[in-house]
Amino acid sequence: MRIVERHHIALLVIASFATFVLAVVGSQSPPARVAYAAPCAPTSSGSNSVTFGNPSPGCTYSIPAYNTLTVTVNGAGGGGQGGAAVFLNSCGGGGSDTTNYAAPGGNGSASTFATVSGGGGSGGGESIYNPGGGSNGDTNVTGGGAVGGDGGGGWTTTLNDEPVFSPDGADGLNGGRASKTYAAGALSGQVTVSVGAGGSGSGGAEGHNCSSMEPWNAGQAGDGTPGQNGSVTITWTNPLASCTFNGSPVAHGASVTAYQASTVPFGSSCVSESRTCNNGTLSGSYQYPSCTVSPPSAPTCTLTPPSQTIDEGESATLNYTISGSATSATINGVSVTPSVSGSYSPSPTVTTNYTMTVSNAGGSNNCGPATVTVNPSPPPPVGYCTVPAGTRTPITGYAWSDTIGWFDLDCSNSGVCGANSFGISIDDTGNLAGCGWSDNIGWVSASPEDLTSCPSGSCTATLSGSNMLQGWMRVLAGGSAQSGGWDGFISLSGSSPDYGPARQADGTFQGFAWGDMNVGWVDFSLARTDVNMCSSADSYSCQGTDTILYTDNACTTSIYATCVEPAFCSEGSSVCLYPPVIFNPQGDSSGHLEIKPSFVRAGNKTKVHWNVSNVESCMVSAPNGDSWVGAAAGCDDETDTCTSGPLGVLTTFINETTIYTLRCTELDGVTPLNESATVRTAPVFQEN
């Protein structure tokens, strides 16, 4: 045992000295002489693989283009321990035999790729006797890397013709293995690779047969073998190829929209497909990156007849046809339907040329002109119906009937004022007088002397206080043989349905008069006057009991507010009102807060009476603690009444003068009602 211990001590001293020398030498290297890692030299390679098997403390490896890359890192194996040898000291019958053991084998070094590591295996005979482990890989195997060295055979000799065996050295352990697969793009540029060296095998121990130490009695066990070096193997698949479309790259898996043609005729649709890149092959066959629909050709038109003649007040008829797809069509700036054919009926007052324009996205074209010659109307007869004397304001403009056409309400419209002056006007009281003129039916009078035999109601034509035309007008030719028995009256307003022209805020009229079946409805929308007879401007009125109406300065009435029961509308008020509080007599009580009797002896009780309507709620209370609220005060939400009932409510004992208070909230929820009543106690007299 002493020989073995000395052997180990000597090895530790040698190892410690070697470590010290290396440390001293390393510490003397200047920073400027530190070498950067050189490119790795492979021990084998293929088109998509490379293996680094030569020990290297660190080299650089340039990552190739790849789709997936797998690295397998094997740590180096530990060296084998040399065999043991026996020292035979018992040959002469004295002493004891000992066994000399060899030093442990060297540890294998780790191999690495970036952060993936396979640890080196322990040398045979190490006190820490562990196989190498893998780390930072997708798969890690302990002891799955390079193989450790074999232990040396023990020395064999004979004693007294009997064989004496020494133990074999321990095998070195395998290095660790780690494997990791990287997806495309996970690695790029350069990584550091290191390949571990296998641990060295230790020499076999020396032995001796008997203590004479003669050379021919000496022997040595077998040496341990070194462990295998580590390795780093990299394999990869080629990157998935991109595609090209219209000169631009398309990544693998990406898609583009392609079209069958770059342009298609108007009315057609662009046909497309989705083309997807699959490892350099682009699906589909369409070649164009975009497609447009050609604009249509500009439409053309015809406008007929080229000429026609009408009398003033009549309508012309222009017929048109359109070729091509027009999106808009106008005749002298007036829009018409852009259909294949159609007509337009203008009513010019002077001779007019008409041109049609048809358009679409492709452009526009004109056709025409078509000329409509207008024969002017003869002037009205002179002297029969003139403008009345006095201060009056005219109604200017026109009225229109689908039966008789236009009629002038004032001579200025036709430019014939002078000897032929006529017109309908309004005086300060709102009465109308004067005549209008129709080329088809003659004079239309609003003068009182022509209206005395009107069919019903007030015959006078007036502009009422609500700015409505009321009463009658009359066609003076009515009642003649030519009128077919029609009396010529035109009703300015009526009901069932409601009708009648009404003056608007800007002075124009809106609405229709009615001229029986001979004239039909007469439209006053092109008439106007400066007279404003509105007498209800800025006022409030009621519609029923729950609606407040507001009338503005143009006599336009609108709903202003709606009252919710029990609130109600009151004429002239802009707010909803509520019924006032009512005290209802019952029995011999007035309905007000009363105490009966109001004069009692101390220690007696009395009764409190009340009966109030049109309140939300009431409370009766006193400083002595008496209190009746809500239902206890006899309040009923349906009748809006609070009452003590005809018999009243009994108080507590009255010991002193006490004031009872009635407090109610009126229906508007705001106005309070307060009343009070007092009960007094009679004084106590004492006899002497």
Q: What is the pLDDT of residues 137-178, one digit of tens each?
A: 999 999 998 898 888 888 888 877 778 888 888 899 999 999
Q: Which residue has the higher pLDDT, 158 or 128?
A: 158
What mean pLDDT is predicted for residues 61-75? 96
Q: What pLDDT score does 63 carry? A: 96
Give yes or no for a contact between 442 and 379, defined as CB atoms under 8 angstroms apart: no
Query: At 387, is the secondary structure helix, strand, or coil?
Result: coil
Strands (DSSP E) contained in 88-238 are: 98-100, 111-113, 116-118, 134-135, 139-141, 156-159, 162-165, 177-183, 190-195, 206-208, 218-220, 231-236
Whether the per-residue pLDDT at 352 is higher than 50: the answer is yes
What mean pLDDT is predicted for residues 205-226? 77
Q: What pLDDT score does 242 carry? A: 93
CA distance 12 to 5: 11
Structure-token pair, residue 64: 């190739």
Sign of CA dihedral 498, 503, 508, 514: positive
Q: What pLDDT score does 551 carry? A: 83
Residue 682 pLDDT grade (very low, low, confident, very high; cuts 50, 70, 90) = confident
Q: What pLDDT score does 278 carry? A: 95
Q: Which of 3-12, 331-340, 663-672 has the lowest mean pLDDT?
A: 3-12
What amino acid is encoded at 285 in this protein? Answer: S
Residues contacting 7, CB < 8 A, separation 6+: 100, 101, 103, 205
> Could you tell me if residue 443 is left (phi over 0), alpha (psi between -120 and 50 degrees) or otherwise beta?
beta
Strands (DSSP E) contained in 393-441 are: 393-401, 405-408, 423-426, 432-438
Residues contacting 177, CB < 8 A, separation 6+: 72, 73, 74, 75, 118, 134, 140, 141, 144, 145
pLDDT digits (tens, 9 = 90+) for 224-248: 899 999 999 999 999 999 999 999 9
Q: Which residue has the higher pLDDT, 641 or 98?
A: 641
What percent of the chain has a predicted confidence (pLDDT) above 70? Answer: 87
Q: Which residue has the higher pLDDT, 390 or 256?
A: 256
The torsion angle over the Cα atoms of residues 185, 187, 189 and 192, rounded to 10 degrees, is -170
Tell me the average pLDDT of the chain: 86
Q: Which of 56-65, 412-421, 597-606, 653-662 has the lowest mean pLDDT?
A: 412-421
Q: What pLDDT score does 556 carry? A: 78
Q: Which of 343-352, 394-403, 552-561, 657-666 has the lowest mean pLDDT?
A: 552-561
pLDDT digits (tens, 9 = 90+) for 584-627: 999 899 999 999 999 999 999 999 999 999 999 999 999 999 99
Query: At 9, is the secondary structure helix, strand, or coil?
Result: helix
Give yes or no for a contact between 416 and 379, defined as CB atoms under 8 angstroms apart: yes
Q: What pLDDT score does 7 carry? A: 36
pLDDT digits (tens, 9 = 90+) for 642-662: 999 999 999 999 999 999 999
Supply the Cα-derived Rg of the chain in whole angstroms.
62
Whether the per-residue pLDDT at 23 is higher than 50: the answer is no
Q: Which of 20-24, 125-129, 578-582 has the lowest mean pLDDT?
A: 20-24
Whether the per-residue pLDDT at 34 is higher than 70: the answer is no
Q: What pLDDT score does 228 carry? A: 96
Q: Which residue has the higher pLDDT, 627 or 418?
A: 627
What percent of the chain has a predicted confidence (pLDDT) above 90? Answer: 58
Give yes or no for a contact between 176 and 256, defined as CB atoms under 8 angstroms apart: no
Residues contacting 386, CB < 8 A, separation 6+: 421, 422, 434
Give yes or no for a contact between 237 and 67, defined as CB atoms under 8 angstroms apart: yes
Whether the per-residue pLDDT at 685 is higher than 70: the answer is no
Q: What pLDDT score does 52 carry? A: 97
Residue 381 pLDDT grade (very low, low, confident, very high; cuts 50, 70, 90) = low
DSSP element (H, E) containing 307 = strand 307-311
Rounded to the nearest angstrom, the gap between the alpha carbon of residue 235 and the centroid of all alpha carbons in its chain is 50
Q: Which residue has the higher pLDDT, 162 or 53?
A: 53
pLDDT digits (tens, 9 = 90+) for 586-598: 989 999 999 999 9
What amino acid is encoded at 446 in this protein? Answer: A
CA distance 198 to 676: 116
Local structure of residue 338 (DSSP, 8 states): -
Whether the per-residue pLDDT at 9 is higher than 50: the answer is no
CA distance 385 to 524: 21
What mean pLDDT is predicted for residues 65-84? 91
Give yes or no for a contact between 606 and 679, defined as CB atoms under 8 angstroms apart: yes
Whether the per-residue pLDDT at 343 is higher than 70: the answer is yes
Distances (CA, A) of 145 to 51, 121, 152, 290: 14, 8, 22, 59
Q: What pLDDT score does 37 carry? A: 65
What mean pLDDT is predicted for residues 546-560? 85
> Could you tell me if residue 464 is left (phi over 0), alpha (psi between -120 and 50 degrees) or otherwise beta?
beta
Residue 136 pLDDT grade (very low, low, confident, very high; cuts 50, 70, 90) = very high
Q: What pLDDT score does 384 carry? A: 60
Q: CB 617: neighbour CB atoms within 10 A?
A: 16
Q: CB 168: neighbour CB atoms within 10 A?
A: 22
Whether the per-residue pLDDT at 27 is higher than 60: the answer is no
Distances (CA, A) of 584 to 587, 596, 646: 10, 17, 11
Q: What pLDDT score does 273 carry? A: 97
What mean pLDDT is predicted for residues 43-49? 95
The domains of the chain, with CATH numbers, are 34-83+105-124+167-202+221-239 (no CATH), 243-293 (no CATH), 300-375 (2.60.40.10), 393-522 (no CATH), 534-577 (no CATH), 582-682 (2.60.40)
Helices and strands in the chain, H and E counts: 2, 61
pLDDT digits (tens, 9 = 90+) for 271-316: 999 999 999 999 999 999 999 999 889 999 999 999 999 988 789 9
Structure-token pair, residue 661: 């208070």
Strands (DSSP E) contained in 471-630 are: 472-475, 489-491, 502-503, 509-510, 512-514, 521-523, 527-528, 539-543, 547-551, 557-562, 582-583, 594-596, 599-601, 607-609, 611-613, 615-621, 627-629
Give yes or no for a contact between 231 and 176, defined as CB atoms under 8 angstroms apart: no
